[in-house]
Amino acid sequence: MPYQSVNPSNGELLRTFDEHSDQQMEEMLVTAEQTFREVWSTKPIRERAKVVGKAASLMLDQKEKFARLATLEMGKRIAESRGEVDLSASILKYYADNAETFLAPRPLHSLAGDAYIEYSPLGVLIGVQPWNYPYYQLARFAAPHLSSGNVMLVKHAPGVPQCAVAFEQLFSEAGAPRGAYTNVFLSNDQVAKLIDDPRTKGVALTGSERAGESLASRAGKNLKKSTMELGGSDPFIVLEDYDLEEAVKMAVVGRIGNAGQTCIGAKRFIFVGPRLEQFLKMFRTALESLVIGNPFDEATTLGPLSSEAALTLLLKQVNEAVAHGANVLTGGKRVNREGSFMQPTILTDIAPDNPAYRQEFFGPVALIFPAKNEDEAIAIANDSPFGLGGSIYTKNIDHGKRVASRIETGMVFINYPSVSTADLPFGGIKRSGYGKELSDLGIQEFVNKKLICASNGFSLVA
């Protein structure tokens, strides 16, 4: 299938890119493997870090260009696009500043002798990335693993090809050698061939459960390291002592950011105690007050979904939920205007046998769950196939930490929806995937942690 750039605000086809042929794919792989062996892996970490740091500076210098492309291709509000550029640049800079420290040999205190762990890159990595954060997703894959000495072939989502090309050009302008970071327009079958190829050493995916099942099984068959970030249905738990106005404010932030198209977005709102009706009234008013419009308009507070296909899927999920007994408190339909716009929606009365109970809604749809007490709220939060992030709202931070320890996710935030920063590890459990990105943990996913030990004559044999 071709890679198409379509403006979701009006359906206009902007540009089309053909898939690379098998021969082009082979040439790219040959170049990447050669660059790894002869150039990139041989450089000191600080020299690689300079390239990554230069990319961060260039991205900030060209912020408006990058931001406008993201808004044009996937409909992100322009202010959010600028914020994504800032976040992406901060990730690049973080690893440029810290890679040498993170990858310094780590001494071990062993009776066997002088022992230490040495970190070395694996080789050519394959990255498969989604459209919802067209630069951030690339930055959190590229920054640590380029810094560690790996090289990469990156298949971005077919809906954001101009963003993909712009990010590849960024590293070229920053001084990365040809083959260090390569954008590839490939089919799923071609990606499978790359995973099978012995010259590739690892696979990183951010995407759907179905994609995760396919790529993880392929990587496993080939005994290759993989990381999988597969989305989530994050619980947003409001305890009885929390301020209602603040809860509503955080609920809007958590659900409406990026038009609800974020894996760590607040999706399941679990409310403890008797104030639920009051919360719902305030939440509904806040959602109905959003300004739906052109994402380039600074006054817009809710832009379109990324594509017509994304809107169609979300509408199907809402209709299916209603058919199984859910109630639409507000919204539930597409907006009567040009473009792929969805009304902000609240669903209530979602029983455990409703398909919506265990689904991820990737858009401005909030699912409401009442809880009689804290234990029931935790049970509802954990009764999910996903385990990416979550948040808890309480005036008692220490109590919030105790509740957080009982939540089955990879990340829990207190009094703020799940966020991502360069220095916080990112990743989930259950069907949200495995492996960590960002922080010092992220850079260790695709390196060989080699033990080197000089014996002191100590015998381990009795």
Q: Give the residue numbers annotated as catalytic, written as ranges.
A: 229, 263
Mean pLDDT over 213-228 rounds to 98
Greater confidence (461 vs 320) lies with 320
197 and 89 fall within a common domain? yes
Q: Is 271 helix (H, G, I), strand (E, B) or coil?
A: strand
C-beta separation of 311 from 334 below 8 A: yes
Could you tell me the two tokens for 69?
């492309």
Q: Give pTM, 2 decimals.
A: 0.97
- The predicted-structure confidence for 94-128, as pLDDT tens digits, reads as follows 999 999 999 999 999 999 999 999 999 999 999 99
- The predicted-structure confidence for 152-164, as pLDDT tens digits, reads as follows 999 999 999 999 9
Q: Is 64 helix (H, G, I), strand (E, B) or coil?
A: helix
Task: Sort strands 225-229 and 200-206 into parallel, antiparallel or unpaired.
Answer: parallel
41 and 158 fall within a common domain? yes
Mean pLDDT over 398-427 rounds to 97
Mean pLDDT over 348-354 rounds to 98
CATH number for the domain harbouring residue 264: 3.40.309.10
Question: 255: pLDDT confidence band, cut at 50, 70 and 90?
Answer: very high
Q: What is the pLDDT of residue 462?
A: 47
Could you tell me the two tokens for 380?
């509802």
Residue 419 lies in a domain: no
Mean pLDDT over 439-450 rounds to 98
Distances 211 to 14, 124, 129, 215, 438 between C-alpha atoms, Å: 27, 20, 11, 6, 22
209 and 262 fall within a common domain? no
Distances 426 to 113, 123, 413, 417, 441 between C-alpha atoms, Å: 36, 23, 12, 14, 9
Q: Which domain holds residue 46?
A: 3-230+432-452
Q: What is the pLDDT of residue 1?
A: 64
Question: 312: pLDDT confidence band, cut at 50, 70 and 90?
Answer: very high
261 and 392 fall within a common domain? yes
Those residues with Cβ within 8 angstroms of residue 120's Cβ, 6 or more apart along the chain or in another chain: 41, 149, 447, 448, 450
Rg of the Cα trace of the chain? Answer: 23
Residue 459 lies in a domain: no
Distances 119 to 103, 449, 452 between C-alpha atoms, Å: 6, 5, 11
Q: What percent of the chain has a predicted confidence (pLDDT) above 70?
A: 98
Q: What is the pLDDT of residue 2?
A: 81
Mean pLDDT over 405-432 rounds to 97
Residue 462 lies in a domain: no
246 and 226 fall within a common domain? no
Does position 298 have pLDDT exceeding 70, yes or no? yes
Q: Using CA of residue 147, residue 148, residue 153, residue 159, what is the dihedral sign?
A: negative
Q: What is the pLDDT of residue 456?
A: 77
CA distance 174 to 55: 5
Residue 287 lies in a domain: yes
CA distance 10 to 340: 8
Residue 442 lies in a domain: yes
Residue 421 lies in a domain: no
56 and 12 fall within a common domain? yes
Distances 114 to 63, 111, 417, 457 between C-alpha atoms, Å: 49, 8, 46, 11
Could you tell me the two tokens for 399?
């109590």
350 and 297 fall within a common domain? yes
- DSSP bridge partners of 106: 117
- Mean pLDDT, the chain, integer: 97
Residue by residue, DSSP assigns 332-391 as: -SB-SSSSS-B--EEEE---TTSGGGG----SSEEEEEEESSHHHHHHHHHSSSEES--E
177 and 305 fall within a common domain? no
Number of domains in the chain: 2
Q: What is the pLDDT of residue 458?
A: 61
Q: What is the pLDDT of residue 460?
A: 54
Does position 447 have pLDDT exceeding 90, yes or no? yes
118 and 252 fall within a common domain? no
Mean pLDDT over 241-265 rounds to 97
CATH number for the domain harbouring residue 145: 3.40.605.10
272 and 204 fall within a common domain? no
Does position 314 have pLDDT exceeding 80, yes or no? yes
Does position 461 have pLDDT exceeding 90, yes or no? no
123 and 177 fall within a common domain? yes
240 and 224 fall within a common domain? no
